[in-house]
Amino acid sequence: MGGVTVRLDQLPLRDDLRGKTPYGAPQASLPVTLNVNENTHPVPQEVADDILDSIAKALRDVNRYPDREFSTLREGFADYLGHGLTPDQIWAANGSNEVLQHLLQAFAGPGRTAFGFAPTYSMYPLLSAGTGANWIAGSREHDYTLEAGSAAAQIADARPDVVFLCTPNNPTGTPMGLDVIEAVYEATDGIVIVDEAYQEFAPRDERSAVSLLPGRERLVVSRTMSKAFAFAGARVGYLAADAAVIDALRLVRLPYHLSSLTQAAASAALRHAPTMLRMVDDIVMQRDRISATLDALDYQPHDSWANFVLFGGVDDPAATWRALYDRGVLIRDVGIPHHLRVSAGTEAETTAFLDALASIESAT
Protein backbone atom coordinates (compact mmCIF):
# COMPACT_ATOMS: atom_id res chain seq x y z
CA MET A 1 0.00 0.00 0.00
CA GLY A 2 1.20 3.47 -0.81
CA GLY A 3 0.75 6.52 1.33
CA VAL A 4 1.98 9.92 2.26
CA THR A 5 5.43 9.90 3.85
CA VAL A 6 6.59 12.77 6.02
CA ARG A 7 9.82 13.51 7.82
CA LEU A 8 10.03 13.10 11.57
CA ASP A 9 10.46 16.85 12.03
CA GLN A 10 7.12 17.40 10.25
CA LEU A 11 5.22 15.46 12.91
CA PRO A 12 3.81 17.11 16.06
CA LEU A 13 6.55 15.55 18.19
CA ARG A 14 7.17 16.73 21.73
CA ASP A 15 9.59 19.66 21.68
CA ASP A 16 11.95 17.99 24.16
CA LEU A 17 12.34 14.98 21.83
CA ARG A 18 13.19 16.93 18.70
CA GLY A 19 16.74 16.38 17.49
CA LYS A 20 17.32 13.34 19.66
CA THR A 21 18.41 9.96 18.30
CA PRO A 22 17.24 6.56 19.59
CA TYR A 23 19.46 4.05 21.32
CA GLY A 24 21.17 1.77 18.89
CA ALA A 25 24.10 -0.59 18.53
CA PRO A 26 25.22 -2.09 15.21
CA GLN A 27 23.63 -5.44 14.45
CA ALA A 28 25.38 -7.57 11.86
CA SER A 29 25.53 -11.24 10.98
CA LEU A 30 29.22 -11.67 11.66
CA PRO A 31 30.89 -14.84 12.97
CA VAL A 32 31.88 -13.12 16.23
CA THR A 33 29.65 -10.45 17.80
CA LEU A 34 31.10 -8.97 20.99
CA ASN A 35 29.59 -5.50 20.97
CA VAL A 36 26.58 -5.42 23.32
CA ASN A 37 27.81 -7.28 26.41
CA GLU A 38 25.66 -10.33 25.83
CA ASN A 39 26.42 -13.62 27.48
CA THR A 40 27.43 -15.50 24.34
CA HIS A 41 27.26 -18.91 26.04
CA PRO A 42 24.11 -20.87 25.14
CA VAL A 43 21.65 -21.81 27.86
CA PRO A 44 22.59 -25.31 29.12
CA GLN A 45 20.37 -28.03 27.68
CA GLU A 46 18.98 -29.19 31.03
CA VAL A 47 17.90 -25.63 31.81
CA ALA A 48 16.50 -25.08 28.33
CA ASP A 49 14.42 -28.26 28.68
CA ASP A 50 12.91 -27.08 31.97
CA ILE A 51 12.20 -23.64 30.50
CA LEU A 52 10.44 -25.20 27.51
CA ASP A 53 8.35 -27.45 29.79
CA SER A 54 7.37 -24.44 31.91
CA ILE A 55 6.39 -22.39 28.87
CA ALA A 56 4.36 -25.31 27.52
CA LYS A 57 2.40 -25.48 30.78
CA ALA A 58 1.85 -21.72 30.74
CA LEU A 59 0.51 -21.94 27.19
CA ARG A 60 -2.43 -24.01 28.41
CA ASP A 61 -3.81 -20.91 30.12
CA VAL A 62 -2.54 -18.27 27.71
CA ASN A 63 -6.14 -17.29 26.95
CA ARG A 64 -6.24 -15.81 30.47
CA TYR A 65 -4.39 -12.74 31.70
CA PRO A 66 -1.16 -13.46 33.58
CA ASP A 67 -0.66 -13.08 37.30
CA ARG A 68 -0.56 -9.29 37.55
CA GLU A 69 1.67 -9.46 40.63
CA PHE A 70 3.99 -12.17 39.17
CA SER A 71 4.07 -13.69 42.67
CA THR A 72 6.05 -16.84 41.91
CA LEU A 73 8.71 -14.90 40.04
CA ARG A 74 9.06 -12.37 42.85
CA GLU A 75 9.55 -15.20 45.31
CA GLY A 76 12.28 -16.59 43.07
CA PHE A 77 14.12 -13.28 42.88
CA ALA A 78 13.87 -12.75 46.64
CA ASP A 79 15.38 -16.19 47.26
CA TYR A 80 18.12 -15.57 44.69
CA LEU A 81 19.17 -12.20 46.13
CA GLY A 82 18.97 -13.34 49.76
CA HIS A 83 19.71 -10.76 52.48
CA GLY A 84 16.34 -11.49 54.07
CA LEU A 85 14.42 -9.91 51.20
CA THR A 86 10.73 -10.69 50.88
CA PRO A 87 8.62 -10.81 47.68
CA ASP A 88 6.95 -7.49 48.51
CA GLN A 89 10.38 -5.85 48.12
CA ILE A 90 10.83 -7.15 44.57
CA TRP A 91 9.73 -5.71 41.23
CA ALA A 92 10.28 -7.03 37.71
CA ALA A 93 9.62 -5.93 34.15
CA ASN A 94 10.54 -6.58 30.52
CA GLY A 95 14.26 -5.97 30.87
CA SER A 96 16.01 -3.70 33.35
CA ASN A 97 15.39 -0.76 31.00
CA GLU A 98 11.66 -1.04 31.69
CA VAL A 99 12.41 -1.35 35.40
CA LEU A 100 14.36 1.92 35.21
CA GLN A 101 11.62 3.51 33.12
CA HIS A 102 9.05 2.65 35.80
CA LEU A 103 11.25 4.30 38.42
CA LEU A 104 11.60 7.45 36.33
CA GLN A 105 7.88 7.55 35.61
CA ALA A 106 7.15 7.35 39.32
CA PHE A 107 9.88 9.59 40.73
CA ALA A 108 11.12 11.85 37.90
CA GLY A 109 9.13 13.12 34.92
CA PRO A 110 8.42 16.71 33.76
CA GLY A 111 9.91 19.40 35.95
CA ARG A 112 12.22 16.93 37.71
CA THR A 113 15.83 15.89 37.17
CA ALA A 114 17.81 12.67 36.88
CA PHE A 115 21.57 12.52 37.48
CA GLY A 116 24.40 10.15 36.54
CA PHE A 117 28.19 10.24 36.52
CA ALA A 118 29.46 10.28 32.94
CA PRO A 119 30.53 8.29 31.10
CA THR A 120 27.87 5.78 32.08
CA TYR A 121 25.05 3.72 30.57
CA SER A 122 23.77 5.59 27.53
CA MET A 123 20.14 4.65 28.18
CA TYR A 124 19.92 6.74 31.37
CA PRO A 125 19.61 10.10 29.57
CA LEU A 126 17.37 8.57 26.89
CA LEU A 127 15.01 7.07 29.46
CA SER A 128 15.02 10.35 31.36
CA ALA A 129 14.14 12.30 28.23
CA GLY A 130 11.44 9.81 27.34
CA THR A 131 9.72 10.42 30.68
CA GLY A 132 10.14 14.21 30.41
CA ALA A 133 12.87 14.55 33.04
CA ASN A 134 15.94 16.74 32.64
CA TRP A 135 19.24 14.85 32.57
CA ILE A 136 22.29 16.13 34.49
CA ALA A 137 25.71 14.58 33.86
CA GLY A 138 28.23 14.57 36.69
CA SER A 139 31.92 13.78 36.33
CA ARG A 140 34.28 10.97 37.30
CA GLU A 141 37.99 10.83 38.00
CA HIS A 142 40.38 10.41 35.04
CA ASP A 143 40.37 6.62 35.58
CA TYR A 144 36.53 6.59 35.73
CA THR A 145 36.39 5.87 39.45
CA LEU A 146 34.21 7.82 41.90
CA GLU A 147 35.36 9.20 45.24
CA ALA A 148 32.73 9.44 47.96
CA GLY A 149 33.34 13.08 48.85
CA SER A 150 33.33 14.32 45.26
CA ALA A 151 30.26 12.29 44.37
CA ALA A 152 28.31 13.56 47.38
CA ALA A 153 29.32 17.15 46.66
CA GLN A 154 28.13 16.92 43.05
CA ILE A 155 24.81 15.46 44.17
CA ALA A 156 24.33 18.10 46.85
CA ASP A 157 24.96 20.81 44.29
CA ALA A 158 22.65 19.38 41.59
CA ARG A 159 19.85 18.31 43.97
CA PRO A 160 18.41 15.71 41.56
CA ASP A 161 15.20 13.78 42.09
CA VAL A 162 16.72 10.51 40.85
CA VAL A 163 20.36 9.41 40.93
CA PHE A 164 21.80 6.57 38.83
CA LEU A 165 24.86 4.75 40.15
CA CYS A 166 26.05 2.06 37.74
CA THR A 167 28.35 -0.53 39.34
CA PRO A 168 30.25 -2.10 37.75
CA ASN A 169 29.93 0.87 35.43
CA ASN A 170 28.95 0.56 31.79
CA PRO A 171 30.84 1.26 29.51
CA THR A 172 34.00 1.32 31.64
CA GLY A 173 33.63 -1.75 33.88
CA THR A 174 34.66 0.32 36.90
CA PRO A 175 33.54 -0.91 40.34
CA MET A 176 32.12 1.43 42.96
CA GLY A 177 32.72 1.23 46.69
CA LEU A 178 29.73 0.93 49.00
CA ASP A 179 31.04 4.05 50.75
CA VAL A 180 30.23 6.03 47.59
CA ILE A 181 26.67 4.72 47.55
CA GLU A 182 26.23 5.56 51.23
CA ALA A 183 27.64 9.07 50.72
CA VAL A 184 25.40 9.76 47.72
CA TYR A 185 22.35 8.52 49.59
CA GLU A 186 23.04 10.86 52.48
CA ALA A 187 23.55 13.79 50.09
CA THR A 188 20.08 13.64 48.52
CA ASP A 189 16.42 13.39 49.39
CA GLY A 190 15.73 11.71 46.06
CA ILE A 191 15.67 8.14 44.85
CA VAL A 192 19.09 6.49 44.49
CA ILE A 193 19.20 3.67 41.92
CA VAL A 194 22.18 1.33 42.05
CA ASP A 195 22.30 -0.47 38.71
CA GLU A 196 24.00 -3.83 39.30
CA ALA A 197 23.42 -5.32 35.85
CA TYR A 198 26.95 -6.80 35.91
CA GLN A 199 27.23 -7.61 39.62
CA GLU A 200 27.61 -11.37 39.10
CA PHE A 201 30.91 -10.76 37.29
CA ALA A 202 32.44 -8.94 40.27
CA PRO A 203 34.67 -10.84 42.73
CA ARG A 204 32.56 -13.27 44.74
CA ASP A 205 33.56 -11.78 48.10
CA GLU A 206 32.43 -8.26 47.16
CA ARG A 207 29.23 -7.08 48.84
CA SER A 208 26.25 -6.06 46.76
CA ALA A 209 24.39 -2.81 47.39
CA VAL A 210 21.48 -5.06 48.38
CA SER A 211 23.21 -5.24 51.76
CA LEU A 212 22.60 -1.49 52.19
CA LEU A 213 18.82 -1.62 51.75
CA PRO A 214 17.74 -1.97 55.43
CA GLY A 215 16.86 1.46 56.80
CA ARG A 216 17.23 3.20 53.41
CA GLU A 217 13.74 3.54 52.00
CA ARG A 218 14.89 5.62 48.99
CA LEU A 219 17.55 3.14 47.84
CA VAL A 220 16.86 0.83 44.89
CA VAL A 221 19.07 -1.96 43.53
CA SER A 222 18.39 -2.94 39.92
CA ARG A 223 19.48 -6.20 38.31
CA THR A 224 18.98 -8.06 35.02
CA MET A 225 18.83 -11.65 33.80
CA SER A 226 20.33 -10.62 30.44
CA LYS A 227 23.98 -10.97 31.41
CA ALA A 228 24.90 -13.67 33.91
CA PHE A 229 21.75 -15.70 33.16
CA ALA A 230 22.20 -15.54 29.35
CA PHE A 231 18.62 -14.29 29.06
CA ALA A 232 19.03 -11.21 26.88
CA GLY A 233 16.40 -12.39 24.41
CA ALA A 234 13.87 -13.09 27.16
CA ARG A 235 13.89 -9.47 28.46
CA VAL A 236 13.68 -9.83 32.23
CA GLY A 237 14.92 -7.20 34.69
CA TYR A 238 14.16 -6.77 38.36
CA LEU A 239 14.90 -4.68 41.43
CA ALA A 240 14.92 -4.80 45.20
CA ALA A 241 13.75 -1.88 47.32
CA ASP A 242 11.50 -0.89 50.20
CA ALA A 243 7.95 -2.20 49.79
CA ALA A 244 6.67 1.38 49.53
CA VAL A 245 8.78 1.88 46.38
CA ILE A 246 7.15 -1.20 44.88
CA ASP A 247 3.72 0.29 45.62
CA ALA A 248 4.77 3.44 43.76
CA LEU A 249 5.73 1.43 40.67
CA ARG A 250 2.29 -0.14 40.52
CA LEU A 251 0.94 3.33 39.78
CA VAL A 252 2.80 3.59 36.48
CA ARG A 253 3.16 0.06 35.12
CA LEU A 254 0.91 -1.11 32.31
CA PRO A 255 -1.68 -3.72 33.29
CA TYR A 256 -0.36 -7.29 33.15
CA HIS A 257 2.98 -6.04 31.89
CA LEU A 258 4.80 -9.37 32.35
CA SER A 259 3.39 -12.13 30.17
CA SER A 260 2.68 -15.60 31.50
CA LEU A 261 5.35 -16.98 29.19
CA THR A 262 7.97 -14.54 30.44
CA GLN A 263 7.13 -15.34 34.06
CA ALA A 264 7.32 -19.07 33.41
CA ALA A 265 10.65 -18.87 31.57
CA ALA A 266 12.30 -16.63 34.17
CA SER A 267 11.07 -18.71 37.11
CA ALA A 268 12.44 -21.86 35.48
CA ALA A 269 15.83 -20.24 34.87
CA LEU A 270 16.02 -19.10 38.48
CA ARG A 271 15.46 -22.67 39.65
CA HIS A 272 18.74 -23.50 37.92
CA ALA A 273 20.71 -20.48 39.17
CA PRO A 274 23.85 -22.48 40.17
CA THR A 275 24.03 -24.08 36.71
CA MET A 276 23.46 -20.78 34.92
CA LEU A 277 26.05 -18.98 37.03
CA ARG A 278 28.77 -21.52 36.28
CA MET A 279 29.11 -19.73 32.93
CA VAL A 280 30.21 -16.62 34.82
CA ASP A 281 33.52 -18.19 35.87
CA ASP A 282 34.47 -18.88 32.26
CA ILE A 283 33.43 -15.39 31.16
CA VAL A 284 35.53 -13.80 33.90
CA MET A 285 38.48 -15.95 32.78
CA GLN A 286 38.07 -14.72 29.20
CA ARG A 287 37.68 -11.12 30.37
CA ASP A 288 40.96 -11.30 32.27
CA ARG A 289 42.62 -13.00 29.32
CA ILE A 290 41.50 -10.13 27.08
CA SER A 291 42.91 -7.56 29.49
CA ALA A 292 46.26 -9.33 29.76
CA THR A 293 46.62 -9.70 25.99
CA LEU A 294 45.56 -6.12 25.30
CA ASP A 295 48.22 -4.98 27.73
CA ALA A 296 50.81 -7.11 25.94
CA LEU A 297 49.75 -5.47 22.65
CA ASP A 298 50.44 -2.04 24.21
CA TYR A 299 46.81 -1.02 24.59
CA GLN A 300 45.52 0.31 27.91
CA PRO A 301 42.75 -1.94 29.26
CA HIS A 302 40.78 -0.47 32.16
CA ASP A 303 40.10 -2.54 35.25
CA SER A 304 36.76 -4.28 34.78
CA TRP A 305 34.41 -6.13 37.08
CA ALA A 306 31.92 -6.64 34.26
CA ASN A 307 31.77 -9.03 31.28
CA PHE A 308 33.57 -6.62 28.97
CA VAL A 309 36.78 -4.63 28.70
CA LEU A 310 37.16 -0.97 27.75
CA PHE A 311 40.60 -0.32 26.32
CA GLY A 312 42.43 2.85 25.37
CA GLY A 313 45.50 3.58 23.32
CA VAL A 314 43.59 3.19 20.04
CA ASP A 315 44.97 5.73 17.59
CA ASP A 316 41.96 5.58 15.25
CA PRO A 317 38.98 3.80 16.84
CA ALA A 318 36.86 3.99 13.68
CA ALA A 319 39.59 2.44 11.54
CA THR A 320 40.33 -0.30 14.08
CA TRP A 321 36.62 -1.05 14.46
CA ARG A 322 36.27 -1.34 10.70
CA ALA A 323 39.35 -3.53 10.36
CA LEU A 324 37.95 -5.92 12.97
CA TYR A 325 34.56 -5.86 11.24
CA ASP A 326 36.22 -6.82 7.96
CA ARG A 327 37.79 -9.76 9.80
CA GLY A 328 34.40 -10.95 11.04
CA VAL A 329 34.57 -9.51 14.56
CA LEU A 330 32.07 -6.93 15.84
CA ILE A 331 32.98 -4.84 18.91
CA ARG A 332 31.76 -1.42 20.13
CA ASP A 333 32.89 2.16 19.67
CA VAL A 334 31.28 3.83 22.71
CA GLY A 335 32.33 7.35 21.77
CA ILE A 336 35.18 7.74 24.24
CA PRO A 337 38.17 9.17 22.34
CA HIS A 338 40.88 6.60 21.53
CA HIS A 339 38.89 3.80 23.17
CA LEU A 340 36.95 0.71 22.11
CA ARG A 341 34.98 -1.85 24.13
CA VAL A 342 34.79 -5.60 23.68
CA SER A 343 32.57 -8.16 25.40
CA ALA A 344 34.13 -11.30 26.85
CA GLY A 345 32.78 -14.21 24.83
CA THR A 346 33.51 -17.90 24.73
CA GLU A 347 37.11 -19.06 24.53
CA ALA A 348 36.81 -19.42 20.75
CA GLU A 349 35.25 -15.98 20.31
CA THR A 350 37.86 -14.38 22.53
CA THR A 351 40.61 -16.04 20.54
CA ALA A 352 39.07 -14.82 17.29
CA PHE A 353 39.00 -11.23 18.58
CA LEU A 354 42.56 -11.29 19.91
CA ASP A 355 43.92 -12.91 16.74
CA ALA A 356 42.10 -10.36 14.58
CA LEU A 357 43.42 -7.46 16.64
CA ALA A 358 46.96 -8.85 16.51
CA SER A 359 46.68 -9.22 12.73
CA ILE A 360 45.75 -5.56 12.46
CA GLU A 361 48.80 -4.66 14.53
CA SER A 362 51.09 -6.75 12.34
CA ALA A 363 49.65 -5.22 9.19
CA THR A 364 50.44 -1.64 10.26
d(CA 319, CA 321): 5
Q: SS3 string of 106-159? A: HHCCCCCEEEEEECCCCHHHHHHHHCCCEEEEEECCCCCCCCHHHHHHHHHHHC
> Which class does domain 45-271 fall in?
alpha beta
Question: At a CB cut-off of 8 Å and minimum separation 6, what does 179 contact?
Answer: 148
CATH top class, domain 25-41+275-363: alpha beta
d(CA 313, CA 296): 12
* Average pLDDT, consecutive stretches of 10 residues, N- to C-terminus, the chain (364 residues): 74 86 77 95 95 97 97 98 98 98 97 98 95 97 97 98 98 98 98 98 96 98 96 96 98 97 98 93 97 97 98 97 97 97 98 97 64
**What SS3 state is found at 32?**
strand
Q: What is the pLDDT of residue 178?
A: 98
pLDDT at 364: 58
Closest CA to 131 of 160, 159, 101, 161: 101
Q: What is the pLDDT of residue 8?
A: 85
Model pLDDT, residue 4: 67
Are 132 and 125 in contact by the 8 Å Cβ rule? The answer is no
Query: Can you tell me whether residue 308 is helix, strand or coil?
Result: strand
pLDDT of residue 17: 84
For the chain, give every domain's residue range.
25-41+275-363, 45-271
313 and 278 in contact (C-beta within 8 Å)?
A: no
